């Protein structure tokens, strides 16, 4: 079973920031939070991951709450090409823990 909870869908206006929440209230101290997205007819695309500090890369920012029970993926200036299903995954940081358990994700629609 997925260890994360996400809203099933969200809309965002083009050019605005898209904030995608994820609840992972049972996260353990050694578990990272990973975000992927899946654009229609493509494979899941890695976006970002983090443990407890906020992270930023060229695609997005990841904000993890201090208690680590939830996080938010931020796409700072959403474009129509960001329309996709976004998955939040928790994964232990120990060798051999290779499994991703994908939940149902959030379907983000960016509106023109």
Partner 1 sequence: DAGVIQSPRHEVTEMGQEVTLRCKPISGHNSLFWYRQTMMRGLELLIYFNNNVPIDDSGMPEDRFSAKMPNASFSTLKIQPSEPRDSAVYFCASSGTGYPLQPQHFGDGTRLSIL
With CB under 8 A as the contact rule, the residue among 42, 58, 67, 112 that binds partner 1 is 42
Stretch binding partner 1 (CB under 8 A), from 15-23, 58-66, 70-78, 94-102: 94-102
With CB under 8 A as the contact rule, the residue among 21, 44, 55, 72 that binds partner 1 is 44
Cβ–Cβ < 8 Å for 8, 87: no
CB atoms near residue 17 (< 10 Å)? 12
Q: Which residues contact 10 (CB under 8 A, 6 or more apart)?
A: 18, 20, 106, 107, 108, 109
Cβ–Cβ < 8 Å for 102, 46: no
With CB under 8 A as the contact rule, the residue among 19, 61, 74, 102 that binds partner 1 is 102
With CB under 8 A as the contact rule, the residue among 13, 80, 93, 111 that binds partner 1 is 93
Positions that interact with partner 1 (CB under 8 A):
32, 34, 41-46, 49, 51, 91, 93, 95, 97-100, 102-104
């Amino acid at each position: 079973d997925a260890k994360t909870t996400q809203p099933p869908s969200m809309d965002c206006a083009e050019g605005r920031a898209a904030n995608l929440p994820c609840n992972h209230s049972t996260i353990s101290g050694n578990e990272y939070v990973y975000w992927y997205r899946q654009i229609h007819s493509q494979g899941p695309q890695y976006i970002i991951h983090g443990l407890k500090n906020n992270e930023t890369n060229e695609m997005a920012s990841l904000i993890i709450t201090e208690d680590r029970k939830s996080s938010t993926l931020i796409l700072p200036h959403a474009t129509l090409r960001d329309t996709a299903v976004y998955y939040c995954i928790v994964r232990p940081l120990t060798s051999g823990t290779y499994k991703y358990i994908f939940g149902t994700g959030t379907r983000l629609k960016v509106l023109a």
